[in-house]
Homo-oligomer: A and B are copies of this chain.
Amino acid sequence: MPTKIDDATLVTILAQIKFDEQGLVPAIAQDHEKGDVVMMAWMNAEAIRETLQSGRVCYWSRSRKNLWKKGETSGQHQDLVNFLIDCDGDTILVKVRQHGVACHTGRRSCFYRSVDAKGTIKEIMGVTVSPETLYSGS
């Protein structure tokens, strides 16, 4: 999604979003072609600006407390295809072109554990790329 969104327009968009008391909003990432939900993370206003203006998805890392340009270290970045805001403005859905895997475990999606009808938690997705490779820095 090539964007031409200037800072003034961004202010209008941000006014539609309800951030929580930490200044964050949950952002769901869904593969735009395959349709699978690959992850959920958090954005602050700066992450939304970076996402919309660069066309690459950027989150806010709550653990590291910094902007998290997805894929900057691992190479597994997400191109923005569509940016959606929900009815009450407190959740974002980004449709993305996922390069490689979304999960830090090396799986395509973070949602790889499923509860079956008996309550057993089963892994339904294998590791595509080893985490060592993902974060080798090469």
A88 contacts across to B, CB distance below 8 A: 110
Within 8 A of B (CB), among A10-52: 10, 12-13, 16, 26, 28, 30, 35-37, 39-40, 52
Q: Are A87 and B112 in contact (CB under 8 A)?
A: yes
Q: Specify how many copies of this chain sit in the oligomer.
A: 2
* Max chain B C-beta neighbours (<10 A), residue from A40, A103, A119, A121: A119
* B87 touching A13, Cβ below 8 Å: no
**Is A85's CB under 8 angstroms from B13's CB?**
no
Mostly helix, strand, loop or mixed at chain A's interface?
loop
Cβ-closest chain B residue relative to A87: B110
B3–A119 CB distance below 8 A? yes
A-B contact pairs, 17 of them (CB 8 A): A4-B118, A4-B119, A6-B119, A12-B119, A13-B119, A13-B121, A16-B113, A16-B121, A35-B36, A39-B86, A82-B114, A84-B124, A85-B113, A86-B110, A86-B111, A87-B103, A93-B111
